[in-house]
Structure 1
Amino acid sequence: MHLNNKQKQHLKGLAHPLKPVVMLGNHGLTEGVLAEIEQTLEHHELIKVKIAAEDRETKTLIADAIVRETGACNVQVIGNTLILYRPSKERKINIPR
Structure 2
Amino acid sequence: MKLRGKQKRFLRAQANHLQPIFAVGKEGLTQNWVDQLDGALDRRELIKVNILQNSDVTPKEVQHFIESQTEIQVVQIIGRVLVLFKVSANKDARELSSRVKKI
TM-score over 0.5 for the pair: yes
Shift of residue 36, structure 1, vs aligned partner: 1.3
C-alpha offsets along residues 35-65 of structure 1, whole Å, 9 cap, x if unaligned?
21011111100010112267xx832112211
CA RMSD of aligned residues (A): 1.9
Q: TM-score, normalized by length of structure 2?
A: 0.83
TM-score, length of structure 1 as denominator length: 0.88
CA contact (8 A) 1:20 1:49 kept: yes
What residue in structure 2 maps to residue 21 of structure 1? 21
Q: Which stretches in structure 2 are left out of the alignment for 5+ residues? A: none
CA distance in structure 2 between the aligned counterparts of 1:77 and 1:2, rounded to whole angstroms = 17
Q: Which runs of 4+ in 1 moved over 4 A?
A: none
Gaps of 5+ in 1: none
* Equivalenced residues, count: 96
> What's the counterpart of residue 72 of structure 2?
72
2:43 is aligned with 1:43:
yes
